[in-house]
Amino acid sequence: MAGTPSASRAGWYDRTQQDVYILLESPANTNRLRKAIIYFIAALILLNVVMVILETVNSLYLQYTAFFHLFDLFTVIVFSTEYALRIWCCVKNPLYSSPVRGRLRYMVSPYMLVDLVALTPFFLPLIVPIEFRLLRLLRLLRLFRVLRLGRYSNAFSTFVEVLKSKKEELVITVVMATIILILASSTLYTVEREAQPDSFGSIPDAMWWAVVTLATVGYGDVYPITPLGKFFAGLVAISAIGLFALPAGILASGFAESVTCKRESEADKTITCPRCGAEIDLQTGREREGPVKGDGEERSDEVTGLLEELIR
């Protein structure tokens, strides 16, 4: 009986850690409290970005300095608490189950590094004396807090997955763009250097024109004036259209594949009743909205019978 209190405390500690892990790391549809936490943190991140932008307006900053500082203090307390709780409960994830090494590996994960950079502008001046100008520049790092939205956004996660799956194709397009940039700037340097030594006096100078042309911006500050230069410039401008269409098509196909995979994954989590055609979620055991055959009461009885057979 002597070991009962300590065992009880250990059990309470483990349950609390598990509950915190679920609240901070589980999907948004886990429970209402988890969804409320996600909305609160996301709203706080967006408000932080708005505040950082408004602080650059000197008249507003001087008039509401106390409010800006209090809001920053409040958000730092919230984000620091969240940061500490994530490190504390991350051991519930099998990837970071080790109390020391697991937490260290978790702290250097991409999202945690973003969180750390976002908190740095507040804590660093308390540790190291910093010049005022550098301090103002450091405070702009708070804009990194907007990257924390990726943790709570399925769309952002999908975008990252698409980039990873299509990285080879995207790298090829970057290499092609670099080759075209070098060829275009070299050609215009050769053709235009005698007519415009100030604008095309070297290949690096010509690269500015090539970048602006390939990006289809066309500032008009530098442009070829010789007939041969205009001819090559037209070819470069036309090639830029196809050059920028390539990555757009690659990303579009990647998003289409990702959506298709998610739909197939959702379909794998359901079974269809052979009698009534109702779709049943294997995780929750509940009926999903789907095709209906027959009356509602009869369909409900058939679904209940099917679930009983599965349980047996």
pLDDT in the model for residue 130? 66
- pLDDT of 20 above 70: yes
pLDDT in the model for residue 294? 46
pLDDT in the model for residue 88? 92
pLDDT in the model for residue 291? 44
Q: Report the topology of domain 167-268.
A: Helix Hairpins (1.10.287)
Q: What is the rounded CA–CA span in Å between residue 218 and residue 220?
A: 5
pLDDT in the model for residue 290? 47
Question: To the nearest whole percent, how much of the chain has pLDDT over 90?
Answer: 8
Considering 105-109, 149-153, 249-253, 274-278, the range whose residues carry the highest mean pLDDT is: 105-109
pLDDT in the model for residue 194? 87
pLDDT in the model for residue 307? 47
Tell me the pLDDT of the chain averaged across its residues: 78
Q: Report the topology of domain 9-152.
A: Four Helix Bundle (Hemerythrin (Met), subunit A) (1.20.120)
Q: Angle at which helices 132-139 and 110-127 pack, to 10 degrees?
A: 160
Region 279-296: what's the mean pLDDT?
50
pLDDT in the model for residue 95? 86
Of 164 and 217, the structure prediction assigns the larger pLDDT to 164
Q: What is the rounded CA–CA span in Å between residue 299 and residue 309?
A: 15
Residue 279 CB partners (closer than 8 Å, separation 6+): 270, 271, 272, 273, 287, 288, 289, 290
pLDDT in the model for residue 87? 92
Q: Which of 212, 182, 188 is nearest to 200 (CA)?
A: 188
Of 142 and 179, the structure prediction assigns the larger pLDDT to 179
- pLDDT of 1 above 80: no
27-31, 132-136, 290-294: the lowest-pLDDT one? 290-294
Question: To the nearest whole percent, how much of the chain has pLDDT over 70?
Answer: 71
Tokens for 35? 């969804």
Q: What is the rounded CA–CA span in Å between residue 86 and residue 41?
A: 14
pLDDT in the model for residue 135? 60
- pLDDT of 155 above 50: yes
Domain boundaries, given as residue ranges, for the chain = 9-152, 167-268, 272-311
Of 186 and 272, the structure prediction assigns the larger pLDDT to 186
Region 296-302: what's the mean pLDDT?
49
Of 119 and 293, the structure prediction assigns the larger pLDDT to 119
**One-letter amino acid identity for 43?**
A
pLDDT in the model for residue 53? 84
Residue 233 CB partners (closer than 8 Å, separation 6+): 188, 213, 223, 224
Region 237-256: what's the mean pLDDT?
83
What is the gyration radius of the CA atoms in the chain, in angstroms? 29
Region 93-111: what's the mean pLDDT?
88
Considering 144-153, 207-216, 268-277, the range whose residues carry the highest mean pLDDT is: 207-216
